[in-house]
With several copies, the nearest count.
Chain A
Amino acid sequence: MNLLPDSQQQEIIDATAGFLESEFPLSRLHESEEPVPISRELWQTMAELGWFGLGLSEELGGTGFTLAEEALLFRELGRVLAPTNVLAASLAVRVASLAHQSELAESIIGGNQRVAIAETADMESTLGENVTGRFRCIDGSDVELVLCSSAQGFALVTRDALGQGDVVPCMDEHTHLEIFDIGGLPALAFAPTEMDSIQNRGSVLAASMLVGSSEAARDQATEYAKERQQFGKPIGVFQAIKHKCADMASRCEAATWQTFYAALAVRDGHADATFQASAAKLLSAKAATENGQANILVHGGYGVTAEYDAHLFLKRSHVLDLLIGTHGEHLTRVLHEPTAA
């Protein structure tokens, strides 16, 4: 038993962080007030890095790592507020693979088809051979595939088949939000919730991105508290600020270890996998939104300006919070599913 990343995992973290720092600097979000889709070139590079099949076995065409390494990758993606398409692709590969659509899986792994995720927006949606219902599609302006998500599982459809949805301005101006009303569209591939613990995998990956966002917000607030001077002192001297940062750290720590634990429990097929995955999603969503709010408050007036990063983390945390199940669904699961021994 060891929750700490081992040396090979640490290498993945370091390499990913380095790549993202140059390819996804936060400054990019100040250059545009519109969502910026990931370019074809960059998508191709990610494919070559093996990201989309990172957790899939090599015999199925993947990179041969596990959900644990995926969690580490997505934490880094969350830190830099990367679009959700990598998460969508990662789940889509697995859905295609589970549905024995190996060509489709290979095509996504190879970066030939880009994917967005669409979360159910009502209780009437049905997912299966066909897809019906209202869905909120995230970061889907320039993709080939859409992965529809609900409590029933995941279904993959082509973007073209969805036609023109209702594009709505998103709370997060860098997130493309489009609403689709889908009526009986045949799915390219479908995986029900329980199959290969697919929904729990999705929860863990979303949780990992939320963890990354909450940690980045903690780090930003802490850095600001060290630099910003008022009353002749760095504001981090004052307990009102210092204790806010301490609470941010506490929320991060709880969310991080719960999420790592969940990644391993899901990967290893433990009896408490569903409990752990939902607990990870809940704690990381709480950490990301509350740290997002606290980061703004630590920044004072600057926190509400478009020029500073602080608001970006809060807005993105609300987007990520929407993915893979509502609070209510996860809370019901953590109340009724079996916990760890």
Chain B
Amino acid sequence: MDLDLSSEDERFREEVRDWLHENVPKEPAPPYGPEYREYCRQWQRTQFEGGWAGISWPSEYGGCGLPPIRQMIWHQENARANAPAVGVNFVGLNHGGPTLIACGTEEQKAYHLPRILRGDIVWCQGFSEPSAGSDLAALKTRGVVDGDDLVVNGQKIWTSYAEHADFQELLVRTDPDASKHGGISWLICDMNLPGVEVRPIKTMTGHSHFSEVFYTDVRIPLSNMVGELNDGWRVTMATLSFERGTAFMSGQIELAKVVESLIELAKNTTGPDGRRPAIQDDGIARSLGMIRAEVSALRCLTLASISRALESEMPGPEGSITKLFYADLSMRVRQLALEILGGQALERTPQGWTNEYLGAFNVAIGGGTSEIQRNIIGERVLGLPRDRNRK
């Protein structure tokens, strides 16, 4: 047990800090559209050219080959420098890429990994379907082998940044007669193939965070399969373990910043008595204190994941604890903001707390609802028996 950063780690932090100071874009990110995509890609390319992309990815594919703690340092310094968020590159960097590293062929790795790191290509996810949400393995999108291709027909939903993506991690059912988990394959789908259609879904914040994707006779080469035919569920578990595990590193740092700004809000907003600043209200002060302690615990959960990653490549089911804790805390932070704001909470500004509050429901649902995380914790961390209702 130690918190020590080696002198190399410290030097790394200094170098990152200096480089970010010089290179973080001055102009803010455009809110959406092709300009947003370009902004994200350009920032990724800048990182790549500076030698900072894929901190803990293997160096043979353009990564830095450094231990995960360096990735954490990188995220910390990015937050300190107010560097742009990962944006459209989230899936490629945080679970698409790591899945290829763990399960992909040499060709797949050689093609995609450097391109993801350079910001040349954008990845998105194609897992959920309209009737396969929490019950992901119920997916029905069909893939039929025809020569060297899989011919895909069906529909996906909740695909973030689909309209910006070049490739997609796509789950299809390739053996409808096999057991539910036994007939699924994991594909790399080129989003520009004929027959792929993207339709954005509008959310309650007024934005389109995600889309439906429709597939009509889309021909995907079999060489784009990750893992074996019908063995995609194993690969999926790897993807989900990355999604629920290490992908939260930057989210946690972001949330810590949100909490500090919430404290500022409480200093500058009149409290429930209509007279003193909210932070002088005994109850609000206690809630703020507890939330600050909890965001610290979230950070420690992340550090524990990093520590475990020193021993094993693949994040374990404990990632679901981090996800659950993160989702619950994210929601409560925004609820406290609403309590502090009182009537002002009705006034909606694009970057304001009200939108944050509405957006927080995404966090509790996306990447597996909190109920699903509790099932995983109960069954895979604690070893409680599986629910027979779930066929």
Chain A residues with a Cβ under 8 A of chain B: 1-6, 9, 33, 68, 119, 121-123, 136, 168-173, 175, 177, 179, 218, 222, 225-226, 229-243, 245-247, 249-250, 253-255, 257-258, 260-261, 263-265, 268, 270, 275-276, 278-279, 282-283, 293, 296-297, 300-301, 303-307, 311, 315, 318-319, 322, 326-328, 330-335, 339-341
Contacts and interface: CB of A to CB of B under 8 A. Distances in A.
6 contacts: A171-B347, A264-B2, A268-B4, A301-B133, A311-B204, A318-B338
Which of A177, A322, A331 counts the most chain B CB atoms within 10 A? A331
A1 B4 contact: yes
Given A226-B384, A335-B289, 6 more contacts: A3-B307, A249-B377, A258-B297, A282-B290, A307-B201, A334-B293
A29 B391 CA distance: 37
B346 A322 contact: yes
A101 B202 CA distance: 48
A255 B297 contact: yes
B381 to A, nearest CB: 6
A170 B348 contact: yes
Given A222-B384, A261-B3, A306-B206, A254 B273 contact: no
B308 A4 contact: yes
A307 B290 contact: no
Given A242-B374, A304-B204, A260 B300 contact: yes
Interface in B204-247: 204, 206
Contacts of A234: 384-385
B269 interface: no
If over half of B's interface residues share one DSSP class (helix, strand or loop), that class is named, otherwise mixed; here it is helix
B163 interface: no
Nearest to B134: A230
Contacts of A265: 3
Contact of B374 (A123, A243, A315): A243
Contacts of B206: 33, 173, 306
Nearest to B382: A222
Contact of A237 (B69, B272, B369, B385): B385
A68 B4 CA distance: 13
B291 to A, nearest CB: 9
Contact of A254 (B158, B298, B369): B298
> Which 10 pairs from chain A and chain B are nearest by CB?
A311-B204, A331-B289, A236-B384, A257-B300, A242-B378, A123-B274, A279-B293, A246-B377, A246-B374, A335-B289
A243 B373 CA distance: 9
Given A169-B348, A249-B377, A304-B203, A279 B297 contact: yes
B387 A237 contact: yes
Contacts of B300: 3, 254, 257-258, 260-261
Given A1-B303, A171-B348, A296-B361, A9 B1 contact: yes
Contacts of B268: none
Interface of B: 1-5, 9, 69, 76, 80, 128, 131-135, 138, 157-158, 201-204, 206, 256, 263, 270, 272-275, 285-286, 288-290, 292-294, 296-301, 303-304, 306-308, 310-311, 318, 321, 324-325, 338, 342-349, 354, 358, 361-362, 364-366, 369, 371, 373-375, 377-379, 381-391
B256 to A, nearest CB: 8
Nearest to B386: A237
B203 A340 contact: no
A245 B290 CA distance: 22
A239 B374 CA distance: 9
A233 B391 contact: yes
A310 to B, nearest CB: 8
Contacts of A332: 285, 289
Contacts of A246: 324, 373-375, 377-378, 381-382
Which of B290, B297, B303, B364 counts the most chain A CB atoms within 10 A? B297
Contacts of B3: 1, 261, 264-265, 268, 270
A318 B311 CA distance: 37
B378 A236 contact: yes
Contacts of A171: 345-348, 354, 358
B388 to A, nearest CB: 7
Given A246-B374, A341-B76, A1 B306 contact: yes
A296 B204 CA distance: 10
A319 B1 contact: no
A208 B372 CA distance: 30
Contacts of B76: 341
Contacts of A249: 321, 377, 381-382
A222 B343 contact: no
Given A236-B378, A331-B289, A340 B347 contact: no
B389 A237 contact: yes
A239 B387 contact: yes
A123 B379 CA distance: 47
Nearest to A293: B361
Nearest to B274: A123
Given A168-B347, A261-B303, A301-B157, A230 B1 contact: no
A313 B386 CA distance: 28
A168 B354 CA distance: 13
A254 B364 CA distance: 18
A74 B388 CA distance: 40
A257 B135 contact: no
B361 A304 contact: yes
Contact of B5 (A1, A6, A300, A319): A1
B371 A239 contact: yes
Nearest to A263: B1
Contacts of A297: 361, 364-365, 369
A4 B1 contact: yes
A56 to B, nearest CB: 18
A315 B345 CA distance: 11
Contacts of B383: 222, 226
Given A237-B384, A304-B204, A339 B296 contact: yes
Contacts of A260: 1, 300
Contacts of B272: 326-328
A304 B362 contact: yes
A172 B355 CA distance: 11
Contacts of B301: 253-254, 257
